[in-house]
């Protein structure tokens, strides 16, 4: 048995440790809450927990992130089905099919199909991650410095063009992220840049206040800015459906009608879309949904309560979780916003993404991969069975205590990272900046990705040019670089010039 397989098995073994298991379960429940609650996301949950990872073992922190990610992706289907408000953008397609079923009296059955699809997709995605990561690691070793620059450029371009209606604004946000990343001492020369005479900026901008500010503080500001009538989503108890646990079990005849091909194909589609930088769960769900409708024997049911549509969308968005980890772990390029924040967890804890991660620190990564699989296989159905009847009540939580709690955790979290008041101020500054960017329609996730990928982009470009006496043709003569530049052109052609009708990336 290869060393990799042994480490992966040891990763599953690590989950049996009561502490690690407790954090995995707590992470899953937090992810389920944030995923189900409209306005809250798994990204926000991980961003809020980011400061706490300092006091956690790295492997445990990553296990918690993985379970939050899987739970957040699945839980969006709960409110999508029960009240027609997707808890996360990736559950929009589930709402189209789940809510009509709810109105027909089959809400619990729809939730059961969403959980089954999420479980199958999540498991397939995690298995593909475990099986294909070593191959991706070997492939990444073939890429030279000019190729690495073009790969990062490809990632940034794809992230921007995935914004579809907001490409110029996405470009501004990504460049703003790169600009923020250039503050501090240059990585290649001992030169301080953009410190404006203050020592506080010499070490650069920490990732923590940026992530907390852009995702948590800006969310608090956005929520308080909403008009009063939207502030509290309260449900009249009489309108809450009464759901028994047995109602969640999908019938075997229904599963047969959906067919294993739909589950597997949707999961593979979702996984492949997850590998693409910035594409995210909503695009995965949409593409799988459209494909399922195209191949369905009952396309007439789509839009009126198709269980096949729910299965396809949920299989794809949960499988996307596994796919999004591949470029993040091997190239440091996050596949979606959540893995961008998980990349922050890695970097804060001193782990450098890349093929060497598998050689030297697989024991820290393996439990995370195992947690993805266990979360999908065990925790999704278990959570639905135990807490399903109460899920609907999540949306009746008042905004005032909820967002006050988020504000406290965010600000105190920014402080505890370095015990610095300056970090709290930075978190607030980035929160206000992100609030206005969001208000004007700028995708803030591209700002974060620009910040994360900017230093790599700069280093690889400068090294490539320095090695070739400043001649940029090295980017065209190096085969790996040329490959990624051509790939960028192909993506630009298909996503911008011949644009498909897809929803905005989430």
Partner 1 sequence: MTTVPLRWWRDVEIILPVLLLAVTTVYLAAAFQVSSPFSTDLVDASFMPKLVAGLMYVALLVVLRDALRRRRAAGGGDGVDDRASDLVAPLKVVALTLAYVAAFQPLGYALATVPYVFLLFQVFRFEDRSHLKRLAYAVVITAVFYGLFAGVFNIRLPLPEALS
The stretch among 39-47, 345-353, 383-391, 460-468 that binds partner 1 (CB under 8 A) is 460-468
Nearest Cα neighbor of 169 from 488, 431, 446, 498 is 446
- Say which residues have a Cβ less than 8 Å from residue 131's Cβ, sequence separation at least 6: none
If one asks whether residue 403 binds partner 1 (CB under 8 A), the answer comes out as: yes
How far apart CA 31 and CA 48 sit, in angstroms, is 12
Q: Does 295 bind partner 1 (CB under 8 A)?
A: no
Contact (Cβ atoms closer than 8 angstroms) between residue 264 and residue 291: no
String of b and e for 426-453 (b: at least 16 CB within 10 Å)?
bbbebbebbbebbeeebbbbbbbbbbbb
414-418 long-range contacts (CB < 8 A, ≥24 apart) are: 414/51, 414/208, 414/209, 414/212, 414/213, 416/51, 416/52, 416/54, 417/50, 417/51, 417/54, 417/206, 417/208, 417/209, 418/206, 418/208
CB of 415: closest distance to partner 1 in angstroms? Answer: 7
H-helix or E-strand containing 501? Answer: none
Contact 447, 214 (CB under 8 A): yes
192: region left, alpha or beta (phi > 0 left; psi from -120 to 50 alpha)? beta
Residue 444 binds partner 1 (CB under 8 A): no
CB contact at 8 A, 448 and 214: yes
Q: Based on CB atoms, which residue is closest to partner 1, 219 or 314?
A: 219
Binding window for partner 1 (CB under 8 A); candidates: 116-124, 131-139, 180-188, 267-275? 180-188
- CA angle centred on 175, ends 216 and 38, rounded to 5°: 25
Tokens 């402080």 locate to 415
- Considering only 5, 398, 489, 499, the residue that binds partner 1 (CB under 8 A) is 398
With respect to partner 1, which residue has the nearer C-beta, 137 or 447?
447
Which of 19, 194, 230, 360 touches partner 1 (CB under 8 A)?
A: 194
Q: Which candidate, 298, 285, 291, 286, places its Cα nearest to that of 254?
A: 298
Subset of 414-433 contacting partner 1 (CB under 8 A): 415-416, 421, 424-425, 428, 432
- Region 106-165 residues binding partner 1, contact defined as CB under 8 A: none
Interface with partner 1, residue 229, by CB under 8 A: no
Query: By CB under 8 A, what part of segment 465-504 binds partner 1?
Result: 465-466, 470
Binding positions for partner 1, 36-65, rule CB under 8 A: 52, 54-56
Site string for partner 1, 3-32 (x = CB under 8 A): ------------------------------
Token pair, residue 3, equals 């060393």
* Sole binder of partner 1 in the list 88, 95, 127, 220 (CB under 8 A): 220
Binding flag, residue 435, partner 1 (CB under 8 A): yes
* Burial tier of 215 (Cβ tally within 10 Å: 0-12, 13-18, 19+): buried
Kindly tell me which of 105 and 470 has the beta carbon lying closer to partner 1.
470
394 binds partner 1 (CB under 8 A): no
Q: Which is nearer to partner 1, 11 or 278 (CB)?
A: 278
Nearer to partner 1 by Cβ, of 249 and 397: the residue is: 397
Judged by CB, which is closer to partner 1: 405, or 496?
Answer: 405
Q: Which helix or strand (DSSP H or E) is residue 484 part of?
A: helix 479-492
Q: Which of 5, 135, 202, 224 binds partner 1 (CB under 8 A)?
A: 224
Q: Is the dihedral of CA 337, 339, 342, 343 positive or negative?
A: negative
List 118, 458, 478, 481, residue binding partner 1 (CB under 8 A): 458
Q: Does 453 bind partner 1 (CB under 8 A)?
A: no
Interface contacts to partner 1, rule CB under 8 A:
52, 54-56, 168-169, 171-172, 175-176, 178-179, 182, 186, 188-191, 193-194, 196, 217, 220-222, 224-228, 231-232, 398-401, 403-405, 407-409, 411-412, 415-416, 421, 424-425, 428, 432, 435-437, 439-442, 457-458, 461-462, 465-466, 470
């Amino acid at each position: 048995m290869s060393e990799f397989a042994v480490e992966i098995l040891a990763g599953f073994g690590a989950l049996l440790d009561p502490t690690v298991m407790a954090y995995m379960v707590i992470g899953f429940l937090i992810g389920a809450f944030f995923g189900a609650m409209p306005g809250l996301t798994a990204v926000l949950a991980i961003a809020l927990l980011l400061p706490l990872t300092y006091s956690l073992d790295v492997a445990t922190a990553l296990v918690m992130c993985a379970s939050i990610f899987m739970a957040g992706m699945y839980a969006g289907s709960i409110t999508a089905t029960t009240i027609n408000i997707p808890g996360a953008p990736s559950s929009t397609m589930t709402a189209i099919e789940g809510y009509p079923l709810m109105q027909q009296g089959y809400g619990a059955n729809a939730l059961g199909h969403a959980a089954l699809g999420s479980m199958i997709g999540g498991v397939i995605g995690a298995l593909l991650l475990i099986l294909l990561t070593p191959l991706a690691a070997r492939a990444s070793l073939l890429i030279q410095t000019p190729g690495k620059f073009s790969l990062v450029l490809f990632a940034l371009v794809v992230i921007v063009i995935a914004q579809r209606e907001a490409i110029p604004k996405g470009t501004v946000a990504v460049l703003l992220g790169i600009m923020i990343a250039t503050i501090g001492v240059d990585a290649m020369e001992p030169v301080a840049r953009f410190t404006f005479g203050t020592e506080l900026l010499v070490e650069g901008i920490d990732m923590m206040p940026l992530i907390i500010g852009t995702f948590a503080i800006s969310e608090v500001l956005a929520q308080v800015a909403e008009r009063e009538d939207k502030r509290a989503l309260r449900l009249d108890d009489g309108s809450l459906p009464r759901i028994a646990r047995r109602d969640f079990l999908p019938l075997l005849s229904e599963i047969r009608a959906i067919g294993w091909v739909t589950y597997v194909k949707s999961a593979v589609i979702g996984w492949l879309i997850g590998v693409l930088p910035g594409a995210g769960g909503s695009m995965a769900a949409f593409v799988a949904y459209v494909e399922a409708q195209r191949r369905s024997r009952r396309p007439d049911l789509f839009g009126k309560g198709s269980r096949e549509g729910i299965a396809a969308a949920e299989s794809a968005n949960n499988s996307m979780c596994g796919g999004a980890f591949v470029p993040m772990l091997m190239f440091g390029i996050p596949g979606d916003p959540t893995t961008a924040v998980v990349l922050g967890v890695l970097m804060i804890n001193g782990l450098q993404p890349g093929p060497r991660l598998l050689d030297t620190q697989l024991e820290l990564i393996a439990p995370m991969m195992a947690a993805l699989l266990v979360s999908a296989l065990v925790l999704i159905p278990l959570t639905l069975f135990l807490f399903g009847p109460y899920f609907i009540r999540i949306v009746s939580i008042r905004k005032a205590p909820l967002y006050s709690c988020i504000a406290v955790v965010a600000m105190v979290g920014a402080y505890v990272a370095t015990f610095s008041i300056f970090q709290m101020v930075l978190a607030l500054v980035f929160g206000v900046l992100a609030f206005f960017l969001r208000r004007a329609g700028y995708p803030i996730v591209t700002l974060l990705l620009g910040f994360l990928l900017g230093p790599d982009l700069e280093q690889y470009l400068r090294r490539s040019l320095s090695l070739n006496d400043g001649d940029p043709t090295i980017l065209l003569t190096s085969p790996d670089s040329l490959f990624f530049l051509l790939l960028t052109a192909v993506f630009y052609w298909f996503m911008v010039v011949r644009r498909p009708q897809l929803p905005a990336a989430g």
